């Protein structure tokens, strides 16, 4: 009998998506044929909010105590360099997930580490490019310190610059410990916006603050007067279904359409329903894509042929629900397909219509380096893990 492949899974806490880890694991097993499920054994390891110290200690525990073959889970690119030496020294393999809050490194980091990212920064770049082309100079960006500490706002800004923007108003709400980040601040900001009248507003909030922003925006009377462009998270069904009664019209960018009739997407939803009986989300998708590439490598996994597995993971691409995906950061790294959506609200229903195709940023474009230099907050926790 073949030995199991032991996968250590770094599991951070998220109040916004408490089921992110189970969802991803369900997606993974949904893609792997049932007769091979026992080949892969997953060891979850809690890492709190995913900071450097907690993550590094967890990786060492998984490698030295659990003796895993693969280290996986959610890791920020800010923390990744700290865990690579342990993985390489033990000659193991790392395959990590992220929402896409940070842009990948432009330099080579390891032959043993692979990534599957939702690439949210790509949707932000695409939104910035589209918003400037559509509405011109000058837009305004509103965000709290938390969301502003990642590459998301920088990617939006660079997208607008690439489309010709030379000016943009950036509003960052002051941090208010133990309190709402909007109350007492956002009202005055909206009053200022009424005077400056930007060509569009881009909002970048997450979780309960995203909901609060929508309510305050409508209360201010700005709704439907200035185009509102929101992040992919703010336009997710999880968020919008909670504010479907508001009088809103939005624009956003989507890299995966749950309702798509594309064959790969229909198969994905069917397999997830068959295995887990749940509605898939972006985390299920990340796990499923990884399961697709692991399925191809089952003969190598059964032999534990790690040199061949690493070699194949550098070049393998899969066709999944969001198109072509690859797992190694180099010039061949697949760029996503992006839809620009118009989102309307009526009779407590949310409707999304694709109105344009977004532009993705090619790997190693000079804008990569600009975004890295612009943003030096050092936030270590993966986005949405608060």
What are the angstrom distances between the C-alpha of 173 and each of 71, 144, 181, 251?
37, 5, 7, 22
pTM of structure: 0.95
Same fold, 5-119+260-326 and 121-254+338-374: yes
* pLDDT for position 334: 72
Q: Domain coordinates of the chain in residue numbers?
A: 5-119+260-326, 121-254+338-374
DSSP-derived pairing of the beta strands 317-320 and 323-326? antiparallel
The confidence score (pLDDT) of residue 219 equals 95
pLDDT at 295: 98
Extended strands (E) in 47-134:
70-74, 93-98, 113-117
Distance between CA atoms of residues 317 and 293, nearest Å: 8
DSSP percent split of the chain into helix, strand, coil, nearest 5? 40, 20, 40
The count of residues in the chain is 386
Residue 115: the pLDDT is 95
Query: How many alpha carbons fall within 13 Å on the CB side of residue 279?
Result: 4
Phi-psi bin for 115: left (phi > 0), alpha (psi -120 to 50), beta? beta
Residue range 5-119+260-326, CATH number: 3.40.50.2300
**How far is it, in rounded angstroms, from Cα 121 to Cα 77?**
13
pLDDT at 365: 67
Strand partners of residue 244: none
**DSSP 8-state symbol, 83:** H
Q: What is the CATH number of domain 121-254+338-374?
A: 3.40.50.2300
Output the pLDDT for position 27.
98
pLDDT at 384: 84
Low-confidence ranges of the chain (pLDDT < 50): 1
DSSP secondary structure string for all residues of 247-270: --EEEEEES--TT---HHHHHHHH
Q: Which residues contact 314 (CB under 8 A, 6 or more apart)?
A: 111, 328, 330
pLDDT the model gives residue 204: 97
Question: What are the pLDDT digits (tens) for 55-74?
Answer: 999 999 999 999 999 999 99
Residue 57 is predicted with a pLDDT of 98
pLDDT digits (tens, 9 = 90+) for 38-53: 999 999 999 999 999 9
Element counts in the chain: helices (H) and strands (E): 14, 14
């Amino acid at each position: 009998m073949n030995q199991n492949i032991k996968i250590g899974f770094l599991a951070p806490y998220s109040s916004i998506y408490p089921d992110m880890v189970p969802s991803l694991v369900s997606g993974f097993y949904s893609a792997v044929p049932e007769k091979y499920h026992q080949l892969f054994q997953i060891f979850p390891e809690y890492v709190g909010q995913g900071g450097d110290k907690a993550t590094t200690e967890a990786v060492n525990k998984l490698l030295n105590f659990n003796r895993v073959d693969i280290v996986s889970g959610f890791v920020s690119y800010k923390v990744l360099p700290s865990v690579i030496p342990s993985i390489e020294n033990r000659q193991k393999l790392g395959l990590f997930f992220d929402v896409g809050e940070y842009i990948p490194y432009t330099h080579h980091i390891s032959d043993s580490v692979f990534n599957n990212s939702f690439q949210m920064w790509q949707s932000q770049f695409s939104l910035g490019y589209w918003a400037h082309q559509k509405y011109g100079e000058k837009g305004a960006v509103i965000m709290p310190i938390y969301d502003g500490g990642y590459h998301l706002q920088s990617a939006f800004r660079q997208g607008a610059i690439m489309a010709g923007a030379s000016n943009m108003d950036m509003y960052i709400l002051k941090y208010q410990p133990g309190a709402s980040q909007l109350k007492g601040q956002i009202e005055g900001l909206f009053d200022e916006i009424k005077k400056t009248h930007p060509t569009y507003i881009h909002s970048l909030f997450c979780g309960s603050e995203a909901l609060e922003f929508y309510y305050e925006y409508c209360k201010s009377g700005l709704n439907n007067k200035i185009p509102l462009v929101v992040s992919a998270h703010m336009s997710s069904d999880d968020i919008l279904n909670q504010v479907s009664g508001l009088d809103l019209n939005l624009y956003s960018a989507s890299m995966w359409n749950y309702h798509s009739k594309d064959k790969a997407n229909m198969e994905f939803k069917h397999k997830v329903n068959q295995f887990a009986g749940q509605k898939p989300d972006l985390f299920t998708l990340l796990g499923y894509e990884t399961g697709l590439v692991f399925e191809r490598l089952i003969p190598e996994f059964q032999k534990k042929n790690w040199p061949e597995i690493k070699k194949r993971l550098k070049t393998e691409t899969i066709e999944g629900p969001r198109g072509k995906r690859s797992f190694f950061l180099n010039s061949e790294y697949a760029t996503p397909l992006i839809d620009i959506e118009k989102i309307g609200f009526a009779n407590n229903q949310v409707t999304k219509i694709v109105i344009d195709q977004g532009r993705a940023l090619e790997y190693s474009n000079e804008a990569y380096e600009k975004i890295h230099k612009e943003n030096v907050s050092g936030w270590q926790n993966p986005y949405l893990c608060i």
